[in-house]
Chain A
Amino acid sequence: MAEVMVVTSGKGGVGKTTSTAALGAALAQAGQNVAVVDFDVGLRNLDLVMGAERRVVYDLINVANGEARLSQALIRDRRIDTLHLLPASQTRDKDALTEEGVKRVIDELRERFDWVICDSPAGIERGAQLAMRYADLAVVIANPEVSSVRDSDRIIGLLDAKTMRAENGETMEKHLLLTRYDAQRAGRGEMLSVEDVLEILSIPLLGIIPESEEVLRASNVGSPVTLNNAQSAPARAYMDAAKRLCGEDVPMIIPSHKKGLLDRLFARRAA
Chain B
Amino acid sequence: MNIFSLFGRKTTAPVARERLQILLSHERTTNCNADLIALLQKEVLAALAKHIDVDPSKVQIKMERREDVSLLEIDVEIPTPKADRKPASQPAKVTVRTTRRAGQAA
Stretch of A12-20, A147-155, A212-220 that contacts chain B: A147-155
Given contacts A146-B19, A150-B23, A200-B24, contact A189 B31 (CB under 8 A): no
Which A163-204 residues sit within 8 Å CB-CB of chain B? 186, 188-193, 196, 200
Question: How far apart are A150's CB and chain B's nearest CB, in angstroms?
Answer: 7
Structural contact, B17 and A200, CB atoms closer than 8 A: yes
Q: What are the residues of chain B within 8 A of A146 when measuring CB–CB?
A: 16, 19-20
Residues of A within 8 A of B23 (CB): 150
Contacts of B20 in A (CB 8 A): 146, 149-150, 192, 200
Over the window 13-54 of chain B, the binary record of Cβ atoms lying under 8 Å from chain A Cβ atoms (1 yes, 0 no) is 110110111011001100110010000000000000000000
- B104 proximal to A (CB < 8 A): no
Residues of A within 8 A of B5 (CB): none
Chain A contacts for B24, CB-based, 8 A: 150, 153, 200
CA distance in complex: A144, B14 (Å): 12
8 Å CB contact of A191 from B13, B21, B31, B35: B13
- Interface size class, chain B: 10 to 19
Q: Give B32's nearest chain A residue, CB to CB.
A: A157
A161 contacts partner chain B, Cβ-Cβ < 8 Å: yes
Establish whether residues B11 and A190, one from each chain, have CB atoms under 8 Å apart when the complex forms. Answer: yes
Contact B17 A192 (CB under 8 A): yes
Given A200-B21, A200-B24, decide whether A154 and B31 contact each other with a Cβ distance below 8 A: yes
Main secondary structure of the interface of B (DSSP, over half): helix
Partner of A193, one of B13, B21, B27, B28: B13
Using C-beta atoms within 8 Å of the partner chain, give the interface range for chain A: 10 to 19
- 30 pairs, CB–CB < 8 Å, chain A vs chain B: A145-B16, A146-B16, A146-B20, A149-B20, A150-B20, A150-B27, A153-B24, A153-B27, A153-B28, A154-B27, A154-B31, A157-B31, A157-B32, A161-B35, A186-B13, A188-B11, A189-B11, A189-B12, A189-B13, A190-B12, A190-B13, A191-B13, A192-B13, A192-B17, A196-B13, A196-B16, A196-B17, A200-B17, A200-B20, A200-B24
> What's the Cα separation between A145 and B16 when bound, in Å?
8
The smallest C-beta distance from A247 to any residue of chain B, in angstroms, reads 31
**Residues in A whose Cβ lies below 8 Å from that of B12:** 189-190
5 tightest A-B contacts by CB?
A: A189-B11, A196-B17, A189-B13, A146-B16, A153-B24
Known pairs A146-B19, A200-B21. 9 more at Cβ < 8 A?
A146-B16, A186-B13, A189-B13, A189-B14, A190-B13, A191-B13, A192-B13, A192-B17, A196-B13
Q: How far is the CA of A161 from the CA of B13 in the complex (A)?
A: 31
CB distance from B11 to the nearest CB of A (A): 3
Interface residues of A in 114-131 (CB under 8 A from B): none
The chain A residue with its CB closest to the CB of B19 is: A146
Once the chains are docked, how many angstroms separate the CA of A157 from the CA of B11?
A: 30
A190 to B9, CA, bound (A): 10
**CB neighbours of A153 from chain B (8 A):** 24, 27-28
For A206-250 the 0/1 string (1 means CB < 8 A from B) is 000000000000000000000000000000000000000000000
